[in-house]
Copies of this chain bind each other. A is one copy, B any other.
Amino acid sequence: MMRDSEREVIRTLALFKEIADVEFERLIEGAFLQRFPMHVVLINEGEHPDFLHVVVEGTVELFARYEARETTIEILQPVTTFILAAIVRDDVYLKSARTLAPSRILMIPAANVREIFGRDPVFARAVVDELAIRYRRLVRTLKDQKLRTGVERLANWILEADRQQGGSGRIALPYEKRTLSALLGMTPENLSRTLASLSAHGISGNGREIVISDRGALVSCARPDPLIDGPE
């Protein structure tokens, strides 16, 4: 099901790093690594969880629908697990998931997760850490959403993206702009305009690239806050 190299990568995840080999082997027994094309729905909100998912390669978007509307909750890059909370609670998904790029997803049977969790305190500790991190990330997202304007959200997203990409000041958009707009809680049209308006605040760039030409100006526009934009 998995090459050794892949197994090693997954092993380095905080969620699995500390557990004993025996437990790890038991955990991924019956797991399988599957390749998916772009724009494939992996999970539908409302369904029941059978597997813990791990993005091994590619990009996964967590999104949600209501009536005819749709919004992005989070975008996951390798290597990350998702829908852990639904498995722990053994309750329906609150979010859907789809690939934004050709991806490889590891699917670990939910029963395994619960079994190891119930028996291995080390793994239990890791699950708690993971959930707490996720919780705090979501708090940051909600603050970002409720306390900032569209311009501020975008400006801070750019700063964060730059940081993640090495801080060179040249950012390659990791996904489509329509996706980014949904993530930031605005329409594609509005993102377009907002981005254009930031050219007066230290931003230039075209197409799939954004360039920070005047970081000071951008920062004074974004006013980043460690309690919203922090790394974790």
- Pick the contact of A227: B94, B124, B145, B225 (CB < 8 A): B94
Determine whether A71 belongs to the interface, using a CB cutoff of 8 Å to chain B.
Answer: yes
Quick one: given A121-B121, A128-B131, A141-B142, are A136 and B91 in contact (CB under 8 Å)? yes
In the complex the two chains form, what is the Cα distance from A44 to B194 in whole Å? 33
A71 and B227 form a contact (CB under 8 A): no
Note all chain B residues with C-beta closer than 8 A to A134: 135
In the complex the two chains form, what is the Cα distance from A93 to B135 in whole Å? 12
Determine whether A176 belongs to the interface, using a CB cutoff of 8 Å to chain B.
Answer: no
Note all chain B residues with C-beta closer than 8 A to A124: 121, 124-125, 128
B145 and A146 form a contact (CB under 8 A): yes
Q: How many copies of this chain does one complex carry?
A: 2
**Which of A85, A125, A133, A228 has its CB near the most chain B CB atoms (within 10 A)?**
A85
In the complex the two chains form, what is the Cα distance from A66 to B85 in whole Å? 29
Note all chain B residues with C-beta closer than 8 A to A64: 139, 143, 147, 227
Report the interface size class on chain A: 35 or more
In the complex the two chains form, what is the Cα distance from A61 to B79 in whole Å? 35
B118 and A125 form a contact (CB under 8 A): yes
Nearest B residue (CB) for A223: B67
Determine whether A218 belongs to the interface, using a CB cutoff of 8 Å to chain B.
Answer: no
Note all chain B residues with C-beta closer than 8 A to A84: 132
Determine whether A95 belongs to the interface, using a CB cutoff of 8 Å to chain B.
Answer: yes
Determine whether A92 belongs to the interface, using a CB cutoff of 8 Å to chain B.
Answer: yes
Note all chain B residues with C-beta closer than 8 A to A7: none
A142 and B132 form a contact (CB under 8 A): no
Note all chain B residues with C-beta closer than 8 A to A128: 88, 117, 124, 127-128, 131
11 A-B residue pairings within 8 Å (CB atoms): A45-B227, A46-B227, A73-B143, A89-B136, A91-B136, A91-B232, A117-B125, A124-B124, A124-B128, A135-B138, A142-B142
The 4 closest A-B pairs by CB, nearest first: A66-B147, A131-B131, A88-B132, A85-B132
